[in-house]
């Protein structure tokens, strides 16, 4: 394929986010946070389907036992896509009516790491949480203005997390008990790079980052050096993930909110020239 392909569909996302590769379904899932939609693309047939919810939908992560965990509004819920049924797991911020859940990833231990942020994207009211397999939620870091893009190392020894408003990706060691070591700046974005949004590791230990405002996904070395970028025909790039049987296809989400661009909010497929890591599942 060409380096960049626009996935054909009948709509654009207001705020596309949270791409997730499902090996068991041969499908890509992603959200449109502001339209409160969970989208599904079958890689086998190209068919696209969706579920619509009653609140902002930050992400969906597969459960090992079937179905998903979703971040909906300020709540964490189990979701059965076959019936549409949801069941509350946790509500980490019941009194923070100004906040919503934004982005999350599962790690090698089957836990979920999820951030919250202010709905207005301007106040530092967000936090970073860990959802353990027994359903316990623990606040592990904060505050955040726009908590974004957890990415967990292949061996589970550390993770990266972003405050997009600070244009900085932070590194945390993960201790044996699930607690985090100190927050250490890992990559400070220069203005021409845009702002770091969602991200994922590849099989070589390099980091791919959706660059909000810069119209690209960028690959960084394991040491945090900027290696190369793939330009995309939309400015607000939000996240990326590897997909396909060989984990050698990359899908990239974008946002059309606030911009007049023909491809703002499109879903893109790019040729990354490398392979990704297997999707981790929640084991609770």
From the list 241, 237, 224, the residue with the least C-alpha distance to 277 is: 241
Is 271 among the catalytic positions?
no
Q: In what order do the strands lie in the sheet with 86-90?
A: 57-62, 68-72, 75-79, 86-90
Annotated binding site for substrate: 100, 102
Do residues 147 and 163 lie in contact, with contact meaning Cβ atoms separated by under 8 Å? yes
What is the maximal distance between C-alpha atoms in the chain?
Answer: 48
pTM, entire model: 0.96
Do residues 253 and 227 lie in contact, with contact meaning Cβ atoms separated by under 8 Å? no
Annotated binding site: 17, 100, 102, 148, 197
Annotated binding site for a divalent metal cation: 17, 148, 197
* DSSP per-residue string spanning 209-235: EEEETTTEEEEE-TTS-EEEEEE-S-S
For the chain, domain boundaries: 4-270
* pLDDT value for 1: 47
Tokens 């819920």 belong to residue: 77
Could you say which of 103, 197, 202, 260 is catalytic?
197
CATH number for the domain formed by residue range(s) 4-270? 2.120.10.30
* pLDDT value for 3: 87
CB-CB neighbours of 29 under 10 Å: 23
The three-class DSSP label of residue 192 is helix
For CA atoms 40, 104, 53, 213, give the dihedral sign: negative
* pLDDT value for 2: 60
The tens place of each residue's pLDDT in the chain, 284 residues long, gives 468 999 999 999 999 999 999 999 999 999 999 999 999 999 999 999 999 999 999 999 999 999 999 999 999 999 999 999 999 999 999 999 999 999 999 999 999 999 999 999 999 999 999 999 999 999 999 999 999 999 999 999 999 999 999 999 999 999 999 999 999 999 999 999 999 999 999 999 999 999 999 999 999 999 999 999 999 999 999 999 999 999 999 999 999 999 999 999 999 999 999 999 999 999 99
């Amino acid at each position: 394929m060409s380096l960049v392909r626009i996935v054909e569909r009948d709509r654009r996302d207001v705020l596309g986010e949270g791409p997730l590769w499902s090996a068991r379904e041969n499908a890509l899932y992603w959200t449109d946070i502001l339209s409160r939609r969970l989208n599904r693309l079958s890689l086998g047939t190209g068919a696209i389907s969706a579920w619509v919810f009653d609140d902002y939908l930050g992400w969906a992560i597969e459960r090992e036992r079937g179905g998903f965990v979703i971040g909906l509004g300020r709540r964490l819920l189990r979701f059965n896509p076959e019936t549409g049924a949801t069941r509350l797991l946790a509500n980490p911020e019941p009194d923070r009516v100004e906040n919503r859940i934004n982005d999350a990833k599962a790690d090698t231990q089957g836990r979920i790491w999820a951030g919250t942020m202010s709905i207005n994207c301007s106040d530092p009211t967000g936090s970073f949480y860990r959802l353990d397999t027994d359903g316990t939620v623990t606040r592990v870091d904060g505050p955040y203005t726009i908590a974004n893009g957890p990415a967990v190392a292949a061996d589970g020894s550390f993770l990266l997390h972003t405050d997009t408003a600070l244009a900085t990706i932070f590194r945390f060691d993960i201790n044996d008990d699930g607690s985090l070591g100190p927050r250490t700046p890992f990559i400070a974005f220069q203005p021409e790079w845009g702002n770091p949004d969602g991200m994922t590791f590849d099989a070589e230990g390099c980091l791919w980052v959706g660059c909000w405002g810069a119209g690209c996904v960028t690959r960084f070395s394991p040491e945090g050096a900027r290696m190369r970028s793939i330009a995309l025909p939309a400015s607000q790039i939000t996240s990326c993930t590897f997909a396909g049987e060989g984990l050698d296809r990359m899908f990239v989400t974008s946002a059309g909110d606030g911009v007049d661009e023909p491809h703002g909010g499109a879903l893109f497929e790019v040729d990354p020239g490398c392979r990704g890591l297997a999707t981790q599942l929640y084991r609770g």
